[in-house]
């Protein structure tokens, strides 16, 4: 039966696939006693579920090939033998007919009994085989609870998989994508988590905060995921599938129309040039940035090199990655951000820190790099070595005081001196910039600006720290709002200080790639954006319809507005200047 599960869209797009549950043993168990008249039907249900599970295992075994086929087949055969075990089957029948348990409750009791037996064994290997029990019981529970029709199961067998889980680590995303995963449905997570940002880079739809997904979906269910609305449709109807095909056709037409903008200028109708840079963290992002006509890389996140391994990468490994990035951009400017990790992720990168009660306010960003000097020396040396291959800027995250900037500059000078003494060909001068994501940095920018060559506004964290709202907390989603008056004033102040001091300023938060915010940012005087490469053509299309002069006349009204409703009213007048582009922009996006 068709079921809609609500969540929040974290990565745009749609995908149709079969559910793959990370925890297949989590099922709804009916503990109410059976009536005598229901026993026969329940026995039939469990027998049908067992038969379906056996058939699934046989189908898997028949498809095996390659060098691991024999080893995998042994596990499948072991699972099949358990399903054929008379004691296991008769135990289920007895629980249903004599104990009056529903089939789901009987399976859980059998699972608990068998797990207890395995855990009591002395042999570590045999104890470890309890996982087999979990998989077998999970498969039967899935068959027992599955509501899909024969036609739906046939369609599901022809499409790829969509992961359903509580969370997914950034380091897991790329391997999953390489194995053909189509999208993600997470019960937790945040639209601004690193995993969500990476999913957008991979162009994989993601829905987060779908709290009931693991309880209501079974392995193999056909699901339609909508990363724009945040809805997940289980057992989609013919009408849902028709809507999905329509979306595919619309997307193809839209891509064809925007493809003509790949080589076009990004310029407002009154002649103001706007520079659209790309955010990147892997080679695929660089290739797409070039193909979509990016003005350069405005933010290269180096964390990806650290998060996909258990130990910190050395200088040579980092150098090769950064060099390939610079060469890949063919002479266009590249901004490399130094490591932006905190205690919540440092351990996964081989950098062990003590647990912190609040990592967001702890040792992260430049604080972590300065706390471990060798870490920063290694990264700075790798970055500086790339300056002989093209224009490179160094961006430092989590800056909150002038002293941090001067310490970084001193380290850069020391590394440069060492590299020249070693015979490396590096640039004569290096541009160093600060991420403005801490309110203190924005407020004190006048005193810091003389120590900086450029500035990048990181709105994802600026909103979080200004509003004291954890951007990974789903319960606070309504409060996390870039259109809060305080946030807008900090953005406007940062842009104004940079313009007065003739320093380039780029905005590289998620709102940079959202056309709902484009008129507002141009009204505030921003001319440099950095965004996910896949959004460049959409933003270029929007910019080319705008009149910067007319928008800037509304800036004062925007900054005088005392509440979010008033700000949205001003933005509505701005949007009126580009109706064809903005008609699909969702005002609710402002909350994300």
Q: What is the DSSP string of 47-82?
A: HHHHHHHHHHHHHHHHH--STTHHHHHHHHHHHHHH
Q: Give the helix ranges, DSSP H, for 64-149.
A: 69-84, 86-97, 103-119, 124-128, 130-145
The CA distances from residue 34 to 42, 90, 330, 509, in Å, are 9, 18, 71, 56
Q: Name residues whose C-beta falls within 8 Å of residue 369's C-beta, 6 or more positions apart in sequence.
A: 338, 339, 375, 376, 379
At 398, list the tokens: 């989590």
Alpha-carbon distance of 30 to 171, in angstroms, equals 37
Residue 166 CA to residue 162 CA, distance in Å, equals 13
Residues comprising the chain, all counted: 592
Q: Hey, how many other C-beta atoms are within 10 angstroms of the C-beta on 72?
A: 13
Can you tell me whether residue 372 is helix, strand or coil?
Answer: coil
Residues 6+ apart with CB under 8 A from 484: 463, 466, 467, 564
For residue 547, what are the contacts with CB-CB under 8 A and spacing of at least 6? 268, 269, 270, 577
Q: Which residues are catalytic?
A: 194, 508
Phi, psi torsion values for 213, nearest 5 degrees: -60, -45
| Distance between first and last Cα of the chain | 31
The two tokens of residue 270 are 């009154």
Q: Which tokens in the block code for residue 219?
A: 């392995």
Q: Strand, coil or helix: what is 339?
A: coil
Q: Is the dihedral of CA 500, 504, 510, 514 positive or negative?
A: positive
Cα→Cα distances 562→500, 520, 556, 573, Å: 26, 16, 12, 17
Residue 25 carries which DSSP code?
Answer: T
**Which structure tokens are listed for 146?**
């599955």
**What sections of 203-356 are H helices per DSSP?**
213-216, 238-259, 283-291, 303-307, 315-328, 343-346
Sign of CA dihedral 519, 520, 522, 526: negative
- Which of 402, 397, 205 is closest to 302 using CA atoms? 397
Continuous segment of H or E residues that includes residue 394: strand 392-396
Cβ neighbours for 591, distance < 8 A, ≥ 6 positions apart: 477, 478, 480, 481
Give the pairing of strands 8-11 and 3-6.
unpaired
Q: What span, in angstroms and rounded, lies between the C-alpha atoms of 589 and 592? A: 5
């Amino acid at each position: 039966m068709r079921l809609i599960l609500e969540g929040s869209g974290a990565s745009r797009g749609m995908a149709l696939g079969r559910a793959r549950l990370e925890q297949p043993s989590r099922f709804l168990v009916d503990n109410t006693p059976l009536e005598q008249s229901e026993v026969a039907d329940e026995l039939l249900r469990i027998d049908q579920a067992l038969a379906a599970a056996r058939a699934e295992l046989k189908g898997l075994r028949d498809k095996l090939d390659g060098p691991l086929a024999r080893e995998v087949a042994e596990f499948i055969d072991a699972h099949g033998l358990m399903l054929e075990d008379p004691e296991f089957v008769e135990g289920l029948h007895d629980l249903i007919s004599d104990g009056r348990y529903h089939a789901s409750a009987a399976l859980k009791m059998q699972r608990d009994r068998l797990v207890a037996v395995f855990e009591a064994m002395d042999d570590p290997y045999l104890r470890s085989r309890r996982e087999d029990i979990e998989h077998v019981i999970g498969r039967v529970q899935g068959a027992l609870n599955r509501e899909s029709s024969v036609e739906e199961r046939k369609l599901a067998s022809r499409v790829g998989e969509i992961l359903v889980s509580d969370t997914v680590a950034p380091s897991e995303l790329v391997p999953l994508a390489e194995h053909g995963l189509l999208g993600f449905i997470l019960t937790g997570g945040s639209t601004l988590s690193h995993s969500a940002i990476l999913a957008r880079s991979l162009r994989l739809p993601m829905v987060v905060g779908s709290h009931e997904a693991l309880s209501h979906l079974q392995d193999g269910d056909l699901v339609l995921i909508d990363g724009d609305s945040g809805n997940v449709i289980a057992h989609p109807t013919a009408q849902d599938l028709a809507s999905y095909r329509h979306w595919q056709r619309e997307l193809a037409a839209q891509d064809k129309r925007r493809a003509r903008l790949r080589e076009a200028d990004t310029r407002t109708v009154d002649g103001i040039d706007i520079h659209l840079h790309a955010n990147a963290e892997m080679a695929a992002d660089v290739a797409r940035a070039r193909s979509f006509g990016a003005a350069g890389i405005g933010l290269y996140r180096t964390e990806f090199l650290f998060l996909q391994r258990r130990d910190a990468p050395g200088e040579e490994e980092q150098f090769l990655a950064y060099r390939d990035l610079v060469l890949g951009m063919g002479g266009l400017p590249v901004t490399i951000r130094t490591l932006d990790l905190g205690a919540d992720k440092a351990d996964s990168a081989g950098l062990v820190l003590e647990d912190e009660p609040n990592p967001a306010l702890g040792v992260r960003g430049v604080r972590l790099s300065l706390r471990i000097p060798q870490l920063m020396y290694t990264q700075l040396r790798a970055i500086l070595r790339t300056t002989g291959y093209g224009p490179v800027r160094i961006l430092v995250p989590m800056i909150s005081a002038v002293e941090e900037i001067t310490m970084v500059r001193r380290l850069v000078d020391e590394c440069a001196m060492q590299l020249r003494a070693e015979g490396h060909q590096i640039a004569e001068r290096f541009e160093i910039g600060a991420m403005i994501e801490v309110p203190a940095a924005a407020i004190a920018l006048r005193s810091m600006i003389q120590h900086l060559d450029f500035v990048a506004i990181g709105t994802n964290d600026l909103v979080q720290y200004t509003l004291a709202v954890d951007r990974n907390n789903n319960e606070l989603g309504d409060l996390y709002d870039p259109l809060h008056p305080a946030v807008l004033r900090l953005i406007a102040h940062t842009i104004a200080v940079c313009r007065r001091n003739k320093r380039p300023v780029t905005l590289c938060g998620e709102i940079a790639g959202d056309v709902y915010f484009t008129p507002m940012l141009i009204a505030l005087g921003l001319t440099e954006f950095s965004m996910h490469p896949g959004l460049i053509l959409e933003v270029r299309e929007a910019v080319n319809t705008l009149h910067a002069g007319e928008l800037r006349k509304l800036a004062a009204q925007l900054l005088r507005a005392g509440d979010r409703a008033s700000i949205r009213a001003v933005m509505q007048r701005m949007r009126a200047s580009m109706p064809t582009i903005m008609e699909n922009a969702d005002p609710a996006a402002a909350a994300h």
